[in-house]
Structure 1
Amino acid sequence: MSNTLYPADLTWHEVDPDCHPFDPASVARVVRSLGPARKVPSRPDPEIDTAGVNWARDVAKPWSDAMTHVLVEHYGRWAAGWRWSLGEGDLDGGPVGSWCCASHSITTPEETVDRVVAALCEWRGWLEDLAEWFEAYPLDPETLLADRIRWERAARNLILQVADRTGAESGWYGHCLQVLGWFLGRWGVAPETAARLVRQAVGGRFCSWTAPDTALAEDIAEKLVGPLRPQDTRWSPPDRGPLPDHLERWIEVRGSVPWPVGEGSDDGGPVTPARDGAAEDFRSFDAAIDPARAAGLLTALELVRADAARGAVLDFELLHRWQQHVLGTPEPPPLRTRPAFAKGGDERYGIGPDTRARLDACLAQADNARLSPAARAARAHLDVCFFHPFDDGNGRAALLTLVFVLARAGVTPDSVVLIRRFGRRADDPQDALNLCRTVEFSIGQSRAATR
């Protein structure tokens, strides 16, 4: 699973309507054909005792996550913004009014699916409006100095438009900064440069529940456009050329990460909470996508627990036995034979005659008791992500690997949501440490749930 479920880090290329065809006339039919639309959860009866069940967290949110997943699979990553609602909804500070949050917007199946359709069309309409505004103020380095006032006016108008569209409610400014970055990115400013210029121009002067006045919008617009220079090499992103091998980058990174050692905060004996977080997520999130998918994962999870209990060696042979159930194939799937791509094509993982041996060598290090259980589990999870051994289902394989490593340490996480919903980059050691901290946090929460 990856951060494709969340729209806050979408780039303009990922949302640009010109790059992603969309037929509004077919949306209702498409949405109703998707798995989650056929399994809208029923609201709890207030007269029935539901002690121990948090409906919003355990039922409604996994369903809306699953709906996002299938919409992104069908339409592309831009569709993740369908539930970016105004104010404090599912996601903070968005422009969508047709959806509030899963706990309030899920009612009857018909009404709920209608809201999803309306929200997706509303989000798409907003992106199309932005595209029109961007095109009205083309940035050209050759005429930058002469047209600076026009571009400042464009930035000012975008700020005011976003504030109006979001109602300047809770967290609205996050999307505003994103839109300003999209505007610069549309006209060739490198993403890193655009993000820095926006941060410097805004300088923390936006607040929740407070719309900017025209004077503030004009000052920020001036500070945004001012640093741009026609001769500045930041103007155009460099030609990246062929993608590097991100598997090789991961091998370099994994050796440089300061993985926590065994005496870390998560080293405190067996952890067996009442709730099996992986099983619960499969029954809610994955079942909403496809019941057969959930059933396969639950079968694989039983194998994972049994293999951990018998002290099985973690290697590709073990992984592909689990993966047969994950994918529902007649035979265990083989190691991929071609380069693989992920994150919308931004990462490429090579393949060679020694790939399996290298994967097995890395997975064997999950037995290294010098590292904390969280470090061993996080590293093995990322090994599977970036070796990308299968043609499909590698995110699920990575999660099962993490659960296996924790199970051998006597730990059952009571939630895997934070582990599963966010992607990590192969070439960023901080992402690896962040996953390790997330696993540590999950273990701590699970330990607290056993007391």
Structure 2
Amino acid sequence: MISDLAPRFLTWDEVDPARHPFDGGSASRVVRSLGSARHVPCRPDITVTDPAMDGWIRMNAWSSEVAEPWADAVSHELVERYGRWALGWRWSVGEADFDAGPVGNWCCLRHSITLPEETLERVVAALCEWRGWLESLAAWFEAYPLDLATVADQRVLWELAARNLIQHVVDRTGCDSGWYSHCDQVLTWFLSRWGVAPDLAQEMVKQAIGGRFASWTAPDTVLVGDVAEQLALSLSPDDGRPPSAEAVPDHLSRWLDVRESVPWEEAPEHGLRSPAAGSRDGAAEDIRAFDGSVDPARADGLLTALELMRSDAARGAPLDFALLRGWQQHVLGLPQRPPFRTLPAFAKGGRERYGIGPGTRERLDACLAASQVRAGSPLPLTARAARAYLDVCFFHPFDDGNARSAFLTLLFVLAREGIEPNGVRLLRQVSFKADDPQDALALARYIGIHLAEA
């Protein structure tokens, strides 16, 4: 199976029904309007029980050469229409197209693809069933509104929520093959919904379960209780006391304080005459090498955003969140521009938390506006580019991809003045702390080093 179609990698932001509208009443019409709906394959009349195994061979060939490409095409079209959450329509129970899912209306390619009209009806039913499952999970999550700042008073509620969610997945999947992977995912979604950083939530769930769930085996009450208890305890620091608001400070507030104290005027001058382009496209080369090794689609999206950013710089567009949204749509491969986050955000394995308030977006816009040259306060370009980069990092405006957004922002500040660096390796391989003024100046120096190469 193609990894970018695998629903087990979906995040809560990608599947949250509140973020992705869906009208079940029009699903049948939408599915039948897809290009793939005009080319539904018919299952061949092959007997797979003959002793020579010829039937199995021919059926497997049809599945891989005809059925799977068609089903993949349906998935791509549904994602274009609804968003990535729609990938789950094929996530059937047990060993099927994708292992360990909650969908019963779709089985697998060789059994679910029959006559064209019957097949399309199954697609619609499976899509609506998957959406119904997501909506039921969202309702369960909302039934346990948890606050990390007051977890000391809510540990019992955390445990109860985890117990119920595990049982919910057990009932839905029947504990068939690989059911525990979706259980991991649902618990991670739950923690993400209430403000735990997704990577930290995934690690917490992994540690709590500890590999003790198994295929075709329902966990007993004691095991479920222990996993729920461990998950709740993992929200507490090592001394056994639940974390308070003071234990997880607001690093956005810390950054805003540090931002005013950094001696930006000490940042190095770049010494270049505008415009000045490097002898090679260092940004594009780094994206192809680094991001391309992670995921070619990720690299393609970032390269598209890079070209859009350069066009925006050439036309003198103002730097604000609205501009960032346009780039981020391509960075994340979304059907529409992503909104500003609505919950506290976490980074660096949960060690940094960035708060959110009524004026957070407006404050970001004001900070980004200061990246332009101002009469009477001409800070070095390296300082203005570094400061804008860190503004995006610590305001953390998006639910995902903020480091890439910050990288594009830094390049925009340079490009707006006609300057492109030869290389960017120091700008993407070092992590910067929100509460350390020296980190800010170090970033400005790194920018200066790369500009000197130009």
- TM-score class, shorter-chain normalisation, is 0.5 to 0.7
Provide the rounded CA distance (Å) in 2 between the counterparts of 1:96 and 1:233: 43
Q: Does 1:131 align with 2:144?
A: no
Distance (Å, rounded) in 1 between the aligned partners of 2:67 and 2:59? 15
Verify: 1:87 aligned to 2:94, yes or no.
yes
Read off the aligned partner of 1:17 and give its amino acid letter: P
| Residue 191 (structure 2) aligns with | 184
| Alpha-carbon separation, structure 1, partners of 2:65 and 2:249 | 45
Q: What does the per-residue CA deviation read over 1:92-120, in whole Å, with 9 as the maximum and x for residues that have no partner?
A: 00000000111210001111000000000
Alignment equivalent of 1:342, drawn from 331, 336, 347: 331
- Residue 120 of structure 1: aligned partner: 127
Is 1:12 equivalent to 2:1 in the alignment? no
What is the aligned partner in structure 2 of residue 29 from structure 1? 29
| Corresponding residue to 1:231 among 236, 244, 255 | 244
- Give the Å deviation of 1:251: 4.0
CA spacing shift, 1:233–1:97, aligned 2, 3 Å: farther
Residues 12, 186 of structure 1: 8 Å contact kept: yes
Contact 1:72 1:80 in 2 (8 A): yes
Displacement, 1:142? 3.6
Which segments of 5 or more consecutive residues in structure 2 lack a partner in the other structure? Answer: 48-53, 236-241, 256-280, 294-307, 313-325, 339-400, 431-454
SS in 1 for 2:9: coil
Q: What per-residue deviation string (whole Å, max 9, x for no partner) do you get for residues 250-273 of structure 1? A: 74476789x9xxxxxxxxxxxxxx
CA distance in 2, matches of 1:6, 1:103: 19
CA distance in 2, matches of 1:127, 1:64: 21
Distance 1:254 1:119, change over 3 A: closer
Aligned residues of 1:86 and 1:169 also touching (Cα < 8 A)? yes
Deviation string for 1:152-197 (max 9, x for gaps)? 0110110111011011100111110000000000000111110111
Contact 2:59–2:110 (Cα < 8 Å) also in 1? no
- CA shift, 1:146, in A, is 1.7
Larger CA Rg, structure 1 vs 2: 2
User: What are the ranges of 5 or more consecutive residues in structure 1 without an aligned counterpart?
Assistant: 242-246, 260-333, 363-425, 429-451
Q: Which amino acid aligns with 2:133?
A: W
What residue is the counterpart of 1:40 in the other structure? 40
Q: Report the CA distance between 1:143 and its aligned residue.
A: 2.9
Match of residue 102 from structure 1 = 109
Is the 8 Å Cα contact of residues 159 and 217 (structure 1) preserved in structure 2? yes
Say if 2:89 and 2:123, in contact at 8 Å, map to a contact too: yes
Q: Per-residue deviation at 1:25? A: 0.5
- Take 1:182 and 1:6, find their aligned partners in 2: how far apart are those partners? 16
Instruction: Please state if 1:74 is matched with 2:81.
Output: yes
Cα separation, 2, equivalents of 1:199 and 1:172: 14
**Mapping 1:190-201, distance limit 5 Å:** 190-201=197-208
Of structures 1 and 2, the one scoring higher in RCO (CA 8 A, sep 6+) is 1
Would you say the 8 A contact 1:85–1:93 is kept in 2? yes
CA contact (8 A) 2:46 2:59 kept: no
Check whether the contact 2:149–2:245 (CA below 8 A) recurs between aligned residues.
no
Equivalent position to 2:181, from 174, 185, 194: 174
TM-aligned CA distance change 1:248 to 1:160, over 3 Å: farther
Alpha-carbon offset, residue 53 of structure 1: 7.8
- Give 2:151's aligned residue: 144
Q: Which amino acid aligns with 1:230?
A: P
What's the RMSD between the two structures over aligned residues? 4.0
Give the drift of 1:77.
Answer: 0.7
* AA matched with 2:331: A
CA distance in 2, matches of 1:76, 1:125: 15
**Closer/same/farther in 2, CA of residues 223 and 252 from structure 1, 3 Å limit:** same
CA offsets per residue over residues 206-233 of structure 1, 9 Å max, x none? 0000111121111000000112133378
Give the letter for the 1:169 counterpart.
D
Cα distance, 1:2 vs structure 2: 7.9
Match of 1:64 in 2: 71
Provide the rounded CA distance (Å) in 1 between the counterparts of 2:176 and 2:60: 30
Go from structure 1 to structure 2 and tell me whether the alpha carbon gap of 1:64 and 1:197 turns closer, same or farther (over 3 Å shift).
Answer: same
What is the CA–CA distance in structure 2 between the aligned matches of 1:68 and 1:17, rounded to whole Å? 18
Aligned to 2:373: none
SS at match of 2:103: coil
d(CA) in 2 for partners of 1:148 and 1:21?
A: 33
Q: CA deviation at 1:45?
A: 3.5
The structure-2 alpha-carbon separation of the partners of 1:238 and 1:157, relative to structure 1 and needing over 3 Å to count, comes to farther
* Mapping 1:386-425, distance limit 5 Å: none
Count of residue correspondences: 283
Cα 1:137–1:250 shift into 2, 3 Å: farther
Q: Distance in 2 between matches of 1:133 and 1:335?
A: 41
Q: CA deviation at 1:335?
A: 12
Could you say if the C-alpha distance between residues 42 and 336 of structure 1 is closer, same or farther in structure 2, counting changes exceeding 3 Å?
Answer: farther
Q: 1:234 to 1:24 in 2, by over 3 A?
A: farther
1:209 equivalenced with 2:198 (yes/no): no
Cα distance in 2 for partners of 1:146, 1:6 equals 38
Which deviations, in whole Å up to 9, do the C-alpha atoms of 1:5-32 show, x marking residues without a partner? 2211111111111111111100000000
Quote the residue 1:220 is aligned against.
227
Please give the alpha-carbon distance, in whole angstroms, between the structure 2 residues aligned to 1:236 and 1:84.
Answer: 40
Q: Could you tell me how far apart the structure 2 residues matched to 1:230 and 1:46 are?
A: 61
Q: In the alignment, what sits opposite 1:395?
A: none
Cα distance change on mapping 1:336 and 1:235 into 2, 3 Å: same
Q: Map 1:239-278 onto structure 2 (within 5 A).
A: 251-252=285-286
Deviation at 1:83, TM superposition (A): 0.6
Q: Distance in 2 between matches of 1:226 and 1:206?
A: 19
Cα distance in 2 for partners of 1:238, 1:22 equals: 36
Specify the code of the residue in structure 2 equivalent to 1:105.
S
